[in-house]
Amino acid sequence: MAKSKIARRQFIKGAVGASATVAALYHLAPALAVESQTKTSAAAKRMMDTLSFSHDWYSSTRQTLAFNARTKAEAQDWQRKLRERLTQLLGQSLQQKCPLDAETVEEREFENYTRETVLFQSRPNLTVYSYFLLPRSSSQPASQPLPCIICLPGHGRGVDSICGIREDGSMRAWGQWGEYQNDFALQCVARGYAVLAIEQLGFGYRRDEAAKKRSKSASSCQPAAGAALLVGQTMVGWRVYDVIRAIDYLSARKEVDPARIATMGISGGGTIAFFSAALEPRIKVSVISGYYNTFRDSILSISHCIDNYIPNIVRYAEMSDIAGLIAPRAMFVESGTRDNIFPVEATKSSFARAQKVFAVFGAQDKLELEIFEGEHQFWGRRAFDFLKRHL
C-alpha cells in the first residue's frame, strides 16, 4: 500500500497558517484577559452566596417588636405583645395538653443521691424520658421541699451525658465530671438541689431507629425538626412544651418547692432553658451555657442543627429581646472565649442590650454574665453562686 505524502508546498502553507493563528491569538490575548477581568469584576459586584444575601437581608430588616420601652408599664405591655408573637412562632397554640400519666420505672440509690427513671406524657402519644435526682444528704429538714433545677442536655448522647452515665452504662466516679457537658445535673445535686433531667426530643432515648443504628451520639434532630416545620410547629416549641409539662409534674412532687424551679442547659439545652424561661413564668431562674448570643452571629452565620431555627423570628426580635421576656426574673449566661459556634463577642454585645431591658424593670442584679477561658462547654463556676442568691 502506498503511504500518503504531504507536499512541501502544503506543509509550508499549513505552517504559515498556524503561525498566523498563533500570532493573532498572541495579539488578542490582552483583549481576552481584559474581558475575563471585566466578567470577574462584574461578578464580584453581584451577590451570589447565601451568607452575604442573608446578612444583607438581616441588615435591611426592622425588627418590629424590638425593645424600646422607657417605663416599667411600657415594658410590661411590650412583653405581652412579644410573648404572644413568640408563642405563635413556636407553634405553641397547636400543643395538646393531656394527663401526665407519670410513672417511675426504675429507682437506684447511690452514695450521694437517689435516681428515679420517670416517664410522663407531655401530650397525646408522646412520652418524656427523664431522671429525677434527689441529694441524700441535705441541710434542710426531710419534710421541707427543695428547689429544683430542670437540666437540659445539648447534642451528644443525651441525658446520660449530664448524669454521669458512661456509654457502656457504668457510672463515672463522683466528682469526676466528664464530657463537654461536665455532668452538670450531678453538679446541681452535689449542691443540694433536686433535679429533673429531661431527655430532649431527638436525643438519646428519644431518637428514631435510624439514628440509634448510626452511633450512640447520633441525633434524629434533622427529620424530627423537619417534621415539626411541616405541621406548622418547631422543634424549639416541642421541647419547650416538654419543659412546661415537666413543671406540671414537679408541682405534684412533695420533695419539690414549686415556687423555686430553674432551668439549666448547655448548647441545644441552653436554647430550651432560654426559651422556656421566656414563655413560662413559673421558672424563677434560668442558667444558659454555650448558647446566648445573637441570631445574626450564631445560627444565621454559622452552620447549626436545624433544631435551632424558628421561622420568621428575626422579623420581630433578637435574642436580647427574648431575654427581656425573662425580666424581672433571673438569668445567668456563661460563654467560652474559644466557643466557635456561639462567638463570645456577640454574646457580650447581646448581653449589653439585655441589660437595658432588665434596668427598666429595676432588676439589674438579676442578670449576670461570666466569660471563661474555654471552648464550647459547661463551666458552672459563678453560675451556682448566682443560683444560691436567686433560687
Range 82-92 average pLDDT: 97
**Using 50, 70 and 90 to split pLDDT, how confident is the model at 209?**
confident
**Integer Cα distance of 308 and 265 in angstroms:** 14
Taking residue 168's Cβ as centre, other Cβ atoms within 10 Å add up to 6
Q: What is the number of residues in the chain?
A: 391
Of 155-164, 301-310, 319-328, give the range with the top mean pLDDT.
319-328
Helices of type H across 191-293? 209-214, 221-230, 235-251, 268-279
Average pLDDT, stretch 291-303?
A: 94
The answer to whether residue 165 is domain-embedded is: yes
Nearby residues of 251 by Cβ (< 8 Å), 6 or more positions away = 258, 282
**Most confidently modeled range among 42-51, 169-178, 200-209:** 169-178
pTM comes to: 0.87
Average pLDDT over residues 304-312: 92
Residue 1 falls inside a structural domain? no
Tell me which amino acid residue 204 is: G
Residue 203 maps to a domain: yes
pLDDT confidence tier of residue 4, bands split at 50, 70 and 90: very low
Q: What is the mean pLDDT of residues 123-132?
A: 97
- Number of domains the chain contains: 1
Radius of gyration of the chain (CA): 29
Residue 64 lies in a domain: no
Q: How far apart are CA 204 and CA 81, in angstroms?
A: 36
Give the residues across from 126 on adjacent strands. Answer: 123
Cell 466557635 locates to 340
- Region 299-321 average pLDDT: 94
Identify the residue with better confidence: 204 or 19.
204
Would 61 be classed as within a structural domain? no
User: Percent of the chain, pLDDT > 90?
Assistant: 74
Domain contains 247: yes
Q: Is residue 8 part of a domain?
A: no
Is the model's pLDDT at 319 over the cut of 90? yes
Q: What pLDDT, on the 0 to 100 scale, is given for residue 26? A: 43
Phi, psi of 92 (to 5 degrees): -70, -25
Residue span of the structural domain in which 172 resides = 72-390
Strands 194-198 and 126-135: antiparallel
Quick one: average pLDDT of 268-291? Answer: 98
| Residue 66 is assigned to a structural domain of this protein | no
Max mean pLDDT among 8-12, 29-33, 215-219 falls in 215-219
Output the domain CATH number for residue 188.
3.40.50.1820
How much is the pLDDT for 37? 61
